[in-house]
Structure 1
Amino acid sequence: MLETSARLLRLLSLLQAHREWSGADLAERLGVSPRTVRRDVDRLRELGYPVSASPGTGGGYQLGAGAELPPLLLDDDEAVAVAVGLRTAAGQGIEGIGETSVRALAKLEQVLPSRLRRRVSALNAFAVPMLRGPGPSAVDPAVLTEVAHLCRDAERLRFEYRDHPRSRTGSGGENALGALTRRTVEPHRLVCTERRWYLVAWDLDRDDWRTFRVDRMVLKPPHGPRFTPRTPPAEDLAEYVSRGVSTRAYAAQAVVRLLVPLHEAAERISPSAGTLEAETEGSCLLRTGAPNLDVMVIHVMMTGLEFEVLEPAELTGRLRAARDLLSRAVERSS
């Protein structure tokens, strides 16, 4: 009985991990015969899990939304409360919680009965948070869950994307709207920073890996077809995204040695401002970017940490010019 119960949980986990499985694939994953898979699927149905089956060589098993809530030890009100809580956490960009919340929400919404999905949607549509201070960019949790599904199921994603706004010259620093482009990508992973959500995906038109801010995406279904996942651009996708948004995205890039331990620098510098790498017990390397070297001087100075420039050499010259400018200002003011 224990072996059967453990196998049922494993089967349920597999069905939640991908949109559709063939009977042969499930049998291979579970180490049983296709006949045993069919019996286990029937047991899940008896427990209330909506598992559909399509015949033929292209058919398979699929976990869908059902008329009744599966036995998750949650009643209707508890299920709604959990879904709303997960949506809230997903939209807040809380470190270590947001990405997990999206995955859990994607699984829960997949099996929520339609009556409960309507209640969750109504609560999110008509409940407005009062506190809106400096926090993560607004991202519709429905967009996050849809993108998470497409990452999970390896389906192509289509959307319109608003590029980073460019500064207008002679307009007091106002920002012009970035260009709007249509994109078709193979989505790989969602990555959450302390303020924003990013999608790492293979851009089919540009034939390369790209990182997209989810709050600038407008989904344009239908999506698909399925694709074979590619080798990701890095093992550490969090570091890859951090370097992309803090360094590679800018025209001017620099490497600076900070004369403090890594943990102390991490308290001052967020992943979206630069990437940190331990060097010695008392120093670490900061890789960062800025629109130009003059802005880079301000950017590095704002850390409030002792440092020395490793590259580029031109940054040292800009620092000397800034030092002389400040010295003259102090002399005139004293």
Structure 2
Amino acid sequence: MSVTFEISPGGALHGTLRMPGDKSVSHRSVMLGALAEGITEVDGFLEGADSLATLAAFEAMGIAVEHPEPGRLVIHGRGLDGLQSPASPLDLGNSGTSMRLLSGLLAGQRFDSTLIGDASLSGRPMRRVTDPLTQMGARIDSTAKGTAPLHIHGNQPLHGIDYALPVASAQIKSALLLAGLYASGTTRITEPAPTRDHTERMLTALGAEVVRDGASVVLNGRPPLRGTALTVPADISSAAFFLVGASIAPGSDLHLPGVGINTTRTGIIDIPRPMGASIELENRHTQGGEPVADVHIQGQQLHGIDIPEALVPLAIDEFPVLFVAAACAEGITTLRGA
């Protein structure tokens, strides 16, 4: 039996819409808040399955977290050496970010730990993370295929390394930086292309000295981290759908307040603009080390462009919705280098 779907134009988009909190920043707020001395208050935390898996893992390692209302956390940090051995494996569900970043963080602990996940996460490759961590002195056992469960041995002295990422990956970079917190000497990571720098920004907000040296990120081991107030920006990836919707619907006038405009993720803004989109960034400011702005979009007729290759890494997660904009634009839009 066939099924027929009828799609009708929905009209213009008007009003003000608050996006959910950024997932990448939510993960890191829990991890680094737990490692800081004192209290870290988090507003805008994303109440999604992945970030809640990270939260549960740290609660299982002895971190007290108050949850007074949705989106708000009060994390009682215990310092770099304050985590406790969990009573059972840490189940991270489907969160690859949690597993990869925790691999680095737990490599420097005094206790053994095991990371597990669902069937999907258990099939994802982890050697791109575990191999450089091994170079730092970590001992991590995985399956013969290099997948989870990951058994991380404690009491392993870590040392800083100078590591060139074979592929651009914010998760691998972040895992090595988190291990670098516990390493002797200096950890230097060189990227083949820019990746999200949420970890570096939040480490700096908590008091660590993170140096950007060209394509490299440099961190000295055991910096003191101090609890602070963090506001998680609205997620630019979630905003992308409404941003494109308002751009292609004539007569639209939409405001998206408090959106994170981290320069490593603004392709969803920088690509539609030369297509003719009216996207203005208002009330620019910084919160928790992250650049934030209110995004104002008005509907316009778009036209096709050759997307600059330099912008491709900045919109790698948003191309499906950008293709909708391209389909509604006059002329041809060409993407290369993705």
Q: Same fold (TM over 0.5)?
A: no
> Which has the larger Rg?
1
Q: Normalising to structure 1: TM-score of the pair?
A: 0.30
* Higher normalized contact order (CA 8 Å, seq sep 6+, divided by chain length): 2
Q: Normalising to structure 2: TM-score of the pair?
A: 0.29
> Which one has a larger percent helix, Structure 1 or Structure 2?
1
